[in-house]
Chains A and B, each alone.
Chain A
């Protein structure tokens, strides 16, 4: 039935015009509607699938290794035999936190300052040149950043000034920071540009300089978007895999005899994602505890990033300053 002109046609006793194919048109409308709903259901099924699989498979793991030992153990040796095999995830978590912290120290301030420059200071010519450069940085695959960390950051930038190993958490963290910088810059810039011009004008009218306007008026007005971009960048850094798989090494933090123990960034520092990648590239039996530990680590990783993504969304909707 026609959607807009449907009612009048039906009300006449005998339609003067036979619009043949009406019935088939109506059925096909229903079929298509449900097909489209089916497509959108796939996204929900993906999320449910991820959660179910991580939980179900890690149950196999937690049957062998108590949850408490997993979360608070300080030794991670899944590929060892017998009594030497221990599943204390703390070294991996420390690896993830330390590389993420390095990345955040680089990406958050630099990203925000770049966003401020692009949004408040840059003229249109400058902007049309700088934005594509940042977009290109964002489009480089993470494997290339891994290569960059291993063959450039460590030997060329770090070795001359610091005592670092070939594989170290610091270079991986720096590379992750460079990778997430464009994301912070572009999301924060969107937030800053959404602040209406009248706020700037009001601030100037009160005698503030451009810097004062930016720092005390524009950034606070856009703070929800800026913080959301920070959280997304940190969540991205936690989940980054290839950079740490290449550059951060394959020994968990504190298990290579570095002087700083578990927190030593200058030595090999396997992260949660790095462990998953490493285990897949080495042959581990599909029914071994080591294999199921992948899902335990995966579950922990998913919970961490999921919580951060939800937090970022909550902040954007809850604290957004709406201007008209």
Chain B
């Protein structure tokens, strides 16, 4: 109801107050925007706090040399190779177990109570603190399996930790493959596994790979469980096999951060720069893979 004065008729004293409501809306819009923009500010501060003390300490000998008590001579060669071993082992194991679980849940499992338990369980595992996985790895792999504080024990612990990531992303990738592809395979006489192996998995491959890379980049930055499984002592040699002891990049950084001399703080910052560059490369690879294949397969 509009009265002839142009103002809305008041219902029991209702005042529209449009102008003040608009102003409040604008103020809050800026509040919402600034809390998002704060994320950028924080990221810049974070990167700066690492870059500023670390960039002067970047050098080839940091990559090539072994840890040392003298900061000018200290390197992280054993940590880099240890990270490669650990991430490689955990990548292979969590790929097999995670993909297997994802295929089972998407293609075989019927909607029943057991499947429900499995799904809830995987969601819960993703929320277990990483240090608890370290306690698990210490007892099961280090003690019961007699693997000792080795690459194998560390890699398996990391595999269990990263498995939920692989399961979730592989399931999404498999679910995105259209049903018609499976039906076409059955139509020419393929068994269920043949349809999965030759048609569903190749189609879902990029999504699965993205998940694996994300899981590996989680594994490369994760420190706490390896503190439990690997210990924090110095390692002055590269791993020679699955049973040798190891050092990883984040543990080396933790080790250097904990020392009183300021020089080690710079060293830690330089090591963080290297770690972040590796992570950036891995994540860009995952994004590039996703973009490339999402343009290639369209159904």
Contacts and interface: CB of A to CB of B under 8 A. Distances in A.
Contact of B28 (A39, A114, A211): A211
Contacts of A3: 186, 191-192
A43 B118 contact: yes
Nearest to A32: B193
Interface string B118-132: 101111110111111
Contacts of A144: 46, 50, 221, 272, 275-276
Interface string B16-31: 1000011011001101
Interface stretch (A71-79, A81-89, A297-305): A297-305
Interface in B203-232: 217, 220-224, 227-228, 231-232
B191 A29 contact: yes
Given A44-B118, A211-B25, A280-B232, A313 B123 contact: yes
A209 B122 contact: no
Interface in A72-127: 109-110, 113-114, 116-118, 120-122
Given A40-B100, A47-B121, A136 B43 contact: yes
Given A36-B104, A137-B43, A147 B253 contact: yes
A148 B46 contact: yes
Contacts of B187: 4
A276 B39 contact: no
Interface residues of A, number: 90
A39 B96 contact: yes
Interface string A19-59: 00000011011001101111110111011011001100100
Contacts of A306: 124, 127-128
Contacts of B117: 44
Which applies to chain A's interface (DSSP): helix, strand, loop or mixed?
A: helix
Contact of A133 (B40, B124, B217, B268): B40
A42 B101 CA distance: 9
A161 B39 CA distance: 22
A310 interface: yes
B192 A277 contact: no
Contacts of A130: 36-37, 39-40
Interface in A298-320: 298, 301-302, 305-306, 308-310, 313
B231 A302 contact: no
A198 interface: no
Contacts of B279: 139-141
A116 B285 CA distance: 30
Contact of A110 (B35, B103, B123, B253): B35
Nearest to B105: A40
Contact of A117 (B32, B139, B283): B32
B238 interface: no
A54 B135 contact: yes
A288 interface: no
A295 interface: yes
Which among A49, A122, A144, A302 has the greatest number of chain B C-beta atoms within 10 A?
A144
Contacts, number: 261
Given A43-B125, A241-B224, A280-B228, A137 B39 contact: yes
A3 B192 CA distance: 7
A209 B140 contact: no
A182 B39 contact: yes
Contact of B39 (A114, A294, A310): A114
A173 interface: no
Name the 4 nearest CB pairs between A and B, nearest first. A239-B129, A141-B221, A39-B100, A152-B49
Interface of A: 2-5, 25-26, 28-29, 32-33, 35-40, 42-44, 46-47, 49-50, 53-54, 57, 109-110, 113-114, 116-118, 120-122, 130, 133-134, 136-137, 139-148, 150-152, 156, 178, 181-182, 185, 207, 209-212, 232, 235-236, 238-242, 245-246, 273, 276-277, 280-281, 294-295, 298, 301-302, 305-306, 308-310, 313
Given A242-B254, A280-B228, A306-B128, 17 more contacts: A40-B104, A42-B101, A47-B121, A47-B124, A120-B32, A139-B283, A141-B221, A141-B275, A143-B272, A209-B21, A211-B24, A211-B29, A241-B223, A241-B227, A245-B227, A246-B257, A306-B124
24 contacts: A3-B192, A4-B186, A42-B97, A43-B101, A43-B118, A43-B122, A47-B124, A50-B132, A113-B32, A117-B32, A117-B33, A130-B36, A134-B36, A137-B46, A140-B279, A141-B222, A142-B223, A143-B254, A144-B221, A146-B257, A178-B42, A209-B22, A211-B24, A276-B135
Interface of B: 16, 21-22, 24-25, 28-29, 31-33, 35-40, 42-43, 45-46, 49-50, 53, 96-101, 103-105, 108-109, 117-118, 120-125, 127-136, 139-140, 160, 163-164, 167, 186-187, 189, 191-193, 217, 220-224, 227-228, 231-232, 250, 253-254, 257-258, 265, 268-269, 272, 275-276, 279, 283
